[in-house]
Amino acid sequence: MTRTLLAAASAIALLALGACGDDQGGGSRGGRSGVWAAGSSTVFPFTTRVAENFARGSGGAAPRVESLGTGGGIQAFCKGVGPDTPDIANASRRMKKSEFELCRNNGVTEIVELKIGYDGLVVATAIDAPNYRFEGDDFYLALAKEVPGPGGAFIANPNRAWNQVNPNLPATRIMVYGPPPTSGTRDSWLELAMAPSAEAVPQLAALAGSDPGRFEALAHTLREDGAWIDAGENDNAIVQTLTRTPGSIGAFGYSFLEQNSDKVKAHSVNGVMPSPETIASGAYPISRSMFIYVKKAHIGVIPGLKEFVLEYMSDAAAGRGGYLQDRGLVPLPAADLAAQRALASALTPMASPE
């Protein structure tokens, strides 16, 4: 019964999409004629650049690109099929199983997952700040809400300055501006920075084996006393904050570092500096893959959607030396990009995430 209702709802939505596809002049009948992408603030400048290039080359409606955060974009994408939902979700992490199931429950049953390249999360300061060399358990001991105390019990984090965490770090206040919970960048920070840092603490390493749920709760729960500050979805705003707030540190995507290298600088993590080479190879510890998710039901109905996706995955855009590399995207190896382009051409739906 539920599947029948979903199928009927999807059919009605597709009829509405068909009306908007016939009305390519601007959607006067309530539909829309342009591509709509929403999601990650990190992927936003890449998709915006493709949209600009696509609009110039096609002469059609300019794609609409929104920065809602990875979680917000996927939520909007998964609301259903029809002109009131995005065609593409931008994501700075893979879609979660729970999100895939939300899509499926709302009738979004064929989703094409495309990896567009890599990005790294940098830990940065104003360019005139002292140098930090982060290593081991530094991030966990500085930013976790609870840390091991005397006798082994977990206590509210007492550390106020970086040199209390590690005597080799500057004696500056712990004050890190980073992405909010809706952001894929926040998820990446927890998975790639906080969890490995927690595992560098013997007590937490033991807990990771004996009680993974408890380990994750401790490693992923950030302080709420001002040491960690949710700074919104706009990474450029974090960059501006670093230049105005002495002693502050920011966590954001590598592409924003490249665009603001005259104002801010990155710091090493476990002895490795972020660069296109160390991010692509995985040598830099806080590196990640970037994705777009395409709603197959909208292909052939939203004018230009497939062409937009193929432009995104082209060598001219996502390849080495392409215009997205100029925006800070670290390209996939040529063979990997060709494989992703084949998925885009065939519109091969993804399997459920594990």
pLDDT tens digits along 265-274: 999 999 999 9
- Partnered with residue 9 across adjacent β-strands are none
Q: For position 252, what pLDDT does the model report?
A: 87
> By the 8 A CB rule, do 295 and 308 touch?
no
* pLDDT over 50 (residue 30): no
Contact 20, 13 (CB under 8 A): no
Query: What angle, rounded to 10 degrees, do the helices at 305-312 and 44-58 form?
Result: 120
Spatial contact of 108 and 80, defined as CB atoms under 8 Å apart: yes
Comparing 16-20, 25-29, 126-130, 277-281, the range with the smallest average pLDDT is 25-29
Max Cα distance, the chain (Å):
70
| Residue 237 or residue 127, greater confidence | 127
Indicate if the pLDDT at residue 88 is higher than 50.
yes
Banded pLDDT at 151 (limits 50, 70, 90) = confident
pLDDT, tens only, 291-304: 999 999 999 999 99
Q: What span, in angstroms and rounded, lies between the C-alpha atoms of 32 and 5?
A: 25
Render 212-280 in DSSP notation, one character per residue. Answer: HHHHHHHHH-B--SSSEEE--S-HHHHHHHHHHSTT-EEEEEHHHHHHTTTTEEE-EETTB---HHHHH
Residue pair 305/107 in contact (Cβ under 8 Å)? The answer is: no
How much is the average pLDDT of 174-190?
A: 89
Q: Residue 253's pLDDT band (boundaries 50, 70, 90)? A: confident
User: What stretch of H or E contains 154?
Assistant: strand 154-156
Q: Identify whether the C-beta of residue 92 lies closer than 8 Å to the C-beta of residue 220.
A: no
pLDDT of residue 184: 81
Strands 88-91 and 249-253: unpaired
**What is the share, in percent, of the chain residues with pLDDT greater than 90?**
73
Which residue is associated with the tokens 């590598």? 254
Tokens of 227: 């040491």
Residue 12 has pLDDT above 50, yes or no: no
Q: Which of 56-60, 74-78, 87-91, 204-208 is predicted with the least confidence, judged by mean pLDDT?
A: 56-60
pTM above threshold 0.85: no
| Coil/strand/helix, residue 76 | helix
Which whole number is the average pLDDT over 127-138? 96
* Distance from C-alpha of 344 to C-alpha of 302, rounded to nearest angstrom: 16
- Reduced to 3 states (helix: H, G, I; strand: E, B; else coil), residue 89 is strand
pLDDT band, residue 23 (cuts 50/70/90) = very low
pLDDT of 225 > 90? The answer is yes
Average pLDDT over all residues of the chain: 89
The residue among 274, 285, 278 whose CA lies nearest residue 197 is 285
Q: Mean pLDDT over residues 108-131, rounded?
A: 95
- Position 10 pLDDT exceeds 60: no
- At 134 the three-state DSSP class reads strand
Rounded CA separation 45/47 (Å):
6
Which band of pLDDT confidence, cut at 50, 70 and 90, is reported for residue 26?
A: very low
Under the banding of pLDDT at 50, 70 and 90, the label for residue 220 is very high
Judge whether residue 348 has pLDDT over 50.
yes
Give residue 114's pLDDT: 98
DSSP tag of 282: T
How does strand 268-269 pair with strand 264-266?
unpaired
pLDDT, position 6: 47
pLDDT confidence of residue 17: 53
